[in-house]
């Protein structure tokens, strides 16, 4: 059952990422805003997707492991790294639910927008903490649970049951609707991470696994697992998204 769900998540990203590579330069700026700047020995990018974060991490870490469930995403990431001639990134396929890395083997563990897409986000969190060395830093971005989350979730559950043909018409119609609202209201919405509304809609409503955290719950997870807790951005994730929050903490040394 868990494997089945994970296979669906993998299939979604195998299809999604190769056609939706985020803006690398914007991501790079963002990474340097949220990761404490120092030189790292070994960084882990858990759920690297197209690898845009890993490329930035490769500038501040001697070695980077870019890790993802989706092989097609990893291939996109490896092609990007080759283009930039970055040689200190190793691409590894696997699941955050059971990371094939030694305990305490990274001094930076970074995972942007990933654990909430895994079948068991808390188990993924524990795995990320396990591979982090004492004194090392864990940076996470996760979906924020709000009072309106249930409406989003009802819509997503309906969308996930749509036949393929209806899915593409639904996405097109909703995109037309959003574009016209933005035009009428003269909203200048910047979508740096992905300019296509269609891709956004796919990501909002058709992603197979989606979980949410409150800031309190995340603070308890950090504290309960021996990490300090620092809330970096509340309701302002990458590129001013209202749906994420970003946290970081240092693993206790005793
Ligand atoms: C929203 S994307 C984020 C990608 C990247 N971190 C970024 O910021 O561009 C979520 C990623 O998590 C990966 N993923 C989902 N479940 C996973 C799992 N169990 N283990 C590892 N990666 C997983 C997906 O393949 C996808 O690339």
Which one is predicted more confidently, 146 or 81?
81
Q: Percentage of the chain with pLDDT > 90?
A: 71
- Domain 2-144+209-250 belongs to what topology? Rossmann fold (3.40.50)
- Tell me the C-alpha distance between 250 and 237, whole Å: 20
Angle, helices 197-205 vs 2-16, to 10°: value is 180
Q: Which of 117, 124, 244 to mutate to test the pocket of ligand 1 (most atoms within 8 A of CB)?
A: 117
DSSP string, 159-184: HHTS-HHHHHHHHHHHHHHHHHHHHH
Looking at ligand 1, which atom is closest to the CA of residue 95? 20
Query: What's the CA-to-centroid distance between 117 and ligand 1, angstroms?
Result: 7
Instruction: Report the pocket of ligand 1 as residue ranges, CB < 6 Å.
Output: 6, 9, 13, 17, 22, 47-50, 52-53, 68-70, 73, 95-97, 112-114, 117-118
Extents of the domains making up the chain:
2-144+209-250, 149-205
Query: What's the CA-to-centroid distance between 124 and ligand 1, angstroms?
Result: 11
**pLDDT over threshold 80, residue 71:** yes
Query: What's the CA-to-centroid distance between 137 and ligand 1, angstroms?
Result: 19
H/E run at residue 220: helix 215-224
- Tell me the C-alpha distance between 33 and 123, whole Å: 27
pLDDT reported for residue 237: 46
In eight-state DSSP terms, residue 122 is H
Predicted confidence (pLDDT) per residue in 94-117, tens digit: 999 999 999 999 999 999 999 999
Predicted confidence (pLDDT) per residue in 162-195, tens digit: 998 899 999 999 999 988 888 887 777 766 666 6
């Amino acid at each position: 059952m868990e494997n089945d769900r994970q296979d669906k998540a993998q299939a979604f990203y195998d299809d999604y990422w190769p056609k939706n590579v985020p803006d690398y330069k914007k991501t790079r700026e963002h990474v340097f805003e949220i990761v404490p700047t120092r030189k790292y020995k070994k960084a882990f990018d858990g759920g690297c997707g197209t690898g845009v974060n890993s490329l930035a991490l490769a500038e501040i870490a001697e070695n980077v492991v870019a890790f993802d469930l989706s092989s097609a995403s990893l291939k996109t990431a490896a092609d990007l790294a080759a283009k930039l001639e970055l040689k200190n990134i190793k691409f590894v396929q696997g699941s955050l639910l059971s990371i094939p890395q030694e305990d305490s083997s990274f001094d930076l563990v970074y995972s942007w927008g990933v654990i909430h897409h895994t079948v068991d986000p808390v188990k993924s969190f524990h795995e990320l903490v396990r591979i982090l060395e004492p004194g090392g830093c864990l940076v996470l971005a996760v979906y924020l649970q709000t009072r309106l989350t249930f409406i989003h979730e009802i819509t997503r559950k309906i969308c996930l049951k749509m036949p393929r043909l209806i899915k593409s018409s639904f996405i097109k119609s909703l995109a037309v609707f959003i574009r016209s609202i933005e035009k009428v209201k003269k909203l200048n919405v910047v979508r740096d991470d992905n300019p296509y509304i269609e891709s956004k809609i796919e990501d909002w409503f058709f992603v197979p696994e989606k979980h949410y955290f409150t800031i309190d719950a995340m603070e308890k997870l950090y504290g309960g697992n021996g990490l300090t807790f620092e809330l970096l951005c509340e309701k302002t994730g990458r590129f001013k998204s209202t749906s994420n929050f970003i946290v970081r903490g240092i693993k206790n040394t005793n």
